[in-house]
Structure 1
Amino acid sequence: MHFATMRQRPVFFAGGMLVLILLMGVLLPATAQDGDPFATNTPSSPLFATNTAAAPVVASPTTAPMMQDFATNTPSGEPTEIPSPTPLGPAQAAFNYSLRIWVQADLVDLVYQQILALQPEDAAAQRALQMTLYELERRFPDAPRDMAQRQRIIEAMLAAPIGSIDMRGMVRPYIQAAVNEHAGENEFTVDGFSV
């Protein structure tokens, strides 16, 4: 007799667990949204997932607003003001962007101003001038094309603290123009420099 009751214990245990699970399923909600003890912002979903599209929700103008069952920081009620759509294009294209549209003359003037403001110990100003010269050479090759303007910048570079400016990009076109002017000569002088 003792042997038969030992066999029945697992059956009783499994049956008891099954009854307990069914009882919990009936008494407790199937999802977190169905019961009051939980606050969540997850929308409730059907018990079974399908690939059938849900019917469209059409609000009638006479329906009263739903009361919220959970805490939220979203304001309730109708929106107070709907913003106008964004215009398709800017009114003044040249002035509405964060980056400037550089014109050759403006960039050359900036280089000249930075050269005049250069101090011997100011490494940040030297680096800024180096970057501006790089941008001038990259955006506008052979700028400035006006030799008088180029000569003015070269004179300012020669008056700047020694070793603070890399003059190669600015001087190379000037030397090329001088060599082209004196094509047949092997040695000549330009502004006090022997070439």
Structure 2
Amino acid sequence: MDDDDGTHIFCSNCGKELSKYYKYCPECGIRIVYDTNIHDFRPLFHTSSEIRLNWVTVLLGIYGVFSILLSVPELFFSDNVADVIKFLAGQERWDEIIKTLGITRLDFVLSLQNVGACHLITGVFSLMSMYLCLHRSHFVWAFSFALASSFTILIGPLFVPRLENAIIMFISVAQFLIGVAISVILYTSRDQFSDYELL
């Protein structure tokens, strides 16, 4: 559309020609911020912000599914996991591990279940964030769920004081760092959400 001075402006998300009076793009619904997401020409390719959000959506899905898959054996087969560890380590080594950690077999099983519950909650939060990213709506909720999924993963190992399993701590810390990185990338792509406000 021609503005008063005869120039054309276009949405950077979908390329629709806009009037300077629009607050939202009528085509894709993105909020128009005139100093950041309009162009004097029609974009011929996806913006870097849109590409980042697409990647974040995929990563949130992978992160969520991975967390849920980790939670299944920890929650529902923790007894069997303890038996497998006992079998692989041998009875003498198992007794030594239990004595060193100062826990009983039941404590070990309960610790696995706590970590599994945290993995399950992390996965659900991550998939909820992914769903909102797919629909490009409710940025604050999408970001909150992504960030919550990062921090929830640390609850299991941190609040089970007698669980000193280095592998579980390593997986939890690695997932936490990956989750925070995904949340930061999601925040940088916030202008792609239809309800985006300057934050």
TM-score after normalising by structure 2: 0.21
Higher-Rg structure is: 1
- More helix as a share of residues: 2
TM-score after normalising by structure 1: 0.22
Higher relative contact order (CA 8 A, sep 6+): 2
